[in-house]
């Protein structure tokens, strides 16, 4: 494949030998086949079918039919030159009740997908949990309950035991901040609960589930990582109140997860900030040792930055729920502002330098671990032209800027080993339904026709080195 005209961005970009280029998706966003072959319901099925929860009443029932079209999709990946495909395994597809025997039909789907990828020379990068908790586990209390961490570890052991012979790298969780604080705090993600104390417990039990699973997988000889969504958190001024706001949001967004995983402890200031919400009695002896099981890889998802203020002058971060429910327990007073930077269709500021900042921070402030950017991308209102081509120069510019930010981090000595664009396809964008398009590949949701955008061709050319001078 060749690009139609997008060759100027990318000029001069160079990456070390062996640097891995891929693209990412998530099961509920692309697979569809919501009741096929024994798949059970997840919290996202329940949430999406609850009126008023998802824009336009959309759901992932059909999505983009990746379950039926995966061979076509893998051929498209190969044509673009992707070296790796990051996808998630739907827990309710392979273990519908969240415990017990695996559903063989679900396992067979992922086995076929992995075989197809390997035959095409594409490395599979599976994530074990990308937000689709089996509904029976939520009915028993969900992530705020300790038993869910044990259930997750059992599931992780079972599925890696049957697929792990062909997978080099496993990821336990994707963005536990979203699962905990959007799912149980603001309620804008599944399961839609608004309980600050439950959100904090969920965050801990998600990380405990990661740690328990990581210990088992590493004992079985597998390489294990976890993916955390990080933000560059910036105070709107140097005033004491704004600096404190930045400390608080950085604590909940970044350090609440980085510190337990990489240091084996919760930040003392964050524990103090949350003292009016919880006494952390849910943290038991041995939990932090399990959570800090040494990683083979840390995945970093980055989209934008947070500019915050401790005064009433700021707005919310776009994740607030109905009735003023907040994803920032103990720091609900913090406001979020935007500067004069351009924004994506999500309203997120485009701030590529922030990616360099968060990568350098992890590399310098925490024990060394190989890093990968496991999600980075942007939504724009893409529309096919009269000639059928989908030109998305804004996305090309976004990707170019963030890949330059990766290059800058490597030049600073950051051990960055790969980059995955989000997303490979337009798909179901959670509570936004099908109204936001992140894909390198345009999907006509009526016909399911796939059309690579100019950004897909640009990215493929970059991978092959044709854009490097």
* Distance between CA atoms of residues 280 and 23, nearest Å: 37
First vs last C-alpha separation in the chain: 19
Kindly list the distances between the CA atom of residue 1 and the CA atoms of 293, 446, 458, 464, in Å, as whole numbers in the listed order. Answer: 43, 25, 10, 11
Point out the catalytic residue in the list 31, 116, 123, 375. Answer: 375
- Per DSSP, helices labelled H in 120-145 are 135-139
CB 167 within 8 A of CB 85: no
Active-site annotation holds for 8? no
Neighbours of 223 (CB within 10 A): 16
Active-site annotation holds for 138? no
| Strand partners for 373 | 300, 419
* Distance between CA atoms of residues 162 and 97, nearest Å: 18
Count the residues in the chain.
469
CA 423, 426, 429, 435 dihedral sign is positive
* Distance between CA atoms of residues 67 and 54, nearest Å: 22
Burial of 126 (0-12, 13-18, 19+ CB in 10 A): buried
Strands 305-309, 335-337: pairing is: antiparallel
Neighbours of 335 (CB within 10 A): 18
- For 36-69, b where at least 16 C-beta lie within 10 A, e where not — what string? eeebbbbbbbbbbeeeebbeeebbbebbbbbbbb
CA 375, 227, 429, 21 dihedral sign is positive
Point out the catalytic residue in the list 175, 340, 353, 446. Answer: 175
* Distance between CA atoms of residues 385 and 410, nearest Å: 38
| Strand partners for 309 | 335
* Residue given tokens 């999500």 in the structure block: 346
* Distance between CA atoms of residues 83 and 18, nearest Å: 10
Active site residues: 175, 375
């Amino acid at each position: 494949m060749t690009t139609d005209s997008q060759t100027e961005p990318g000029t001069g970009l160079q990456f070390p030998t062996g640097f891995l280029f891929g693209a990412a998706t998530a099961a509920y966003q692309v697979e569809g086949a919501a009741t096929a072959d024994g798949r059970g319901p997840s919290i996202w099925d329940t949430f999406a079918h609850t009126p008023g929860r998802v824009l336009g009443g959309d759901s992932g029932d059909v999505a983009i039919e990746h379950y039926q079209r995966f061979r076509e999709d893998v051929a498209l990946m190969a044509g673009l030159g992707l070296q790796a495909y990051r996808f998630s395994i739907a827990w309710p597809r392979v273990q519908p009740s969240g415990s017990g025997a695996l559903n063989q039909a679900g396992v067979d789907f992922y086995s076929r997908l992995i075989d197809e990828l390997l035959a095409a020379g594409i490395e599979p990068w599976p994530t074990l949990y990308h937000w689709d908790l089996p509904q029976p586990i939520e009915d028993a209390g969900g992530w705020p309950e300790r038993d869910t961490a044990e259930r997750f570890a059992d599931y992780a052991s079972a599925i890696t035991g049957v697929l792990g012979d062909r997978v080099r790298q496993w990821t336990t969780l994707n963005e536990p901040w979203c699962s905990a604080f959007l799912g149980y705090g603001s309620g804008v993600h599944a399961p839609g609960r608004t309980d600050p104390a439950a959100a904090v417990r969920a965050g801990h039990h998600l990380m405990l589930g990661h740690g328990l699973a990581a210990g088992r997988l590493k004992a079985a000889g597998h390489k294990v990582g976890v993916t955390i969504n990080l933000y560059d958190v910036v105070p709107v001024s140097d005033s004491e109140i704004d600096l404190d706001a930045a400390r608080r949001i950085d604590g909940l967004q970044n350090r609440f997860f980085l510190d337990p995983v990489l240091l084996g402890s919760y930040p003392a200031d964050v524990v103090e900030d949350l003292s009016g919400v919880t006494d952390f009695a849910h943290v038991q002896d041995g939990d932090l040792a399990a959570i800090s099981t040494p990683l083979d890889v840390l995945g970093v998802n980055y989209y934008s930055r947070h500019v915050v203020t401790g005064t009433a002058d700021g707005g919310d971060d776009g994740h607030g729920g109905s009735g003023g429910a907040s994803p920032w327990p103990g720091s609900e007073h913090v406001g979020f502002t935007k500067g004069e930077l351009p924004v994506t269709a999500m309203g997120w500021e485009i701030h590529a330098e922030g990616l360099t900042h968060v990568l350098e921070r992890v590399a310098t402030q925490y024990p060394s671990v190989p890093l990968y950017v496991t999600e980075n991308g942007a939504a724009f209102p893409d529309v096919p032209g009269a000639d059928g081509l989908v030109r998305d120069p804004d996305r090309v510019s976004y990707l170019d800027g963030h890949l330059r930010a990766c290059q800058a981090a490597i030049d600073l000595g950051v051990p960055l080993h790969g980059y995955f664009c989000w997303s490979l396809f337009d798909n179901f964008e959670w509570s936004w339904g099908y109204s936001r398009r992140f894909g390198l590949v345009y999907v006509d949701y009526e016909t399911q026709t796939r059309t690579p955008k100019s950004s897909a061709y640009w990215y493929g050319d970059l991978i092959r080195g044709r854009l490097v001078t």
